[in-house]
Amino acid sequence: MTAKIFIDGESGTTGLGIRARLEAYPKIELLSLPADQRKDPAAKQAAMEQADIVVLCLPDEAAREAAVIAAALGDRSPRILDASTAHRVAEGWTYGFPELAPGQAEAIASAKRVANPGCYATGAIALLRPLVDKGLLPAEHPVSIHAVSGYSGGGKAMILSYERGEAPSFEAYALGLEHKHVPEIERYARLARRPIFAPSVGNFAQGMLVCVPLLLDELPLKPRGADLEAALAAHYAASPFVRVVPAEPSGKMEPESLNGTNDLELRVFANEVRRHAIMVAKLDNLGKGASGAAMQNLELMLQAA
């Protein structure tokens, strides 16, 4: 049976990535609107009425409006996968991180509405949630997260600025401490207090590192770095996309080697003499951080169709 998929916002970075992946997928019919009708609510609703699954690759407010249009179809409403931030902590939406916890992949497969995770949030939650679940990191422990992304995650204006050579080589941003990924990190990592999140962007197109530093003796169980690594390895043992790998002896990491994949690598760098550790997640911000994760969720949703 052929599944019909409509990508609302197919001309954006994430939409293009999802479309490219779907074009190679068997038994998929991609529905599309002419460019001059892509913001027409009536045209959108007509496309949604034909679709089995609608993928929203839109700014947040437009994604909320599109979800309302779909809901108005009642029994004819399609299933929705939202790649925006709009519904990640909204009631009635399933969080689209299959590796989050046992049963999450099954919940995504059967869900009517799925919210794709944010790129930074994917790395941060992947590092934090297993430790909270194992009791190695208390939910109320103060957490700071530092990250760097390629400029492709910043939207059309940022991409153009870097491609023209007008942007700085490196830039810290969101220093008002209100980044839109923080609510989902707090909720799905099961943190009881809001983490401090310090993102930045570098002069490379795609790739991402997310770092969580820890003072090991400040944790109640006073774990070793090996304990953190073991907890991560146990949590992701059955995952085809998330791997726990040894920390590089050089103490250095680059962000781009997973580009073009849906892979996520986790490392624990620990200094047992100082009792310090830094956990690092590496991913492609356009892969596991965006269209790759969306495709993983779509495959789960299609299996249940």
- Annotated active-site residue in 56, 66, 80, 119: 119
57 flagged as catalytic: no
Alpha carbons 91 and 227: distance in angstroms, whole number:
35
End-to-end CA distance of the chain: 9
Alpha carbons 208 and 163: distance in angstroms, whole number:
18
Helix (H, G, I), strand (E, B) or coil at 237: coil
C-alpha distances (whole Å) from 221 to each of 91, 95, 187, 215, 265 are 34, 30, 23, 12, 25
Distance of CA 200 to the CA centre of its chain: 16
Alpha helix positions (H), the chain: 13-23, 41-50, 60-71, 104-110, 119-134, 155-163, 182-188, 225-235, 292-303
Which residues belong to the active site? Answer: 119
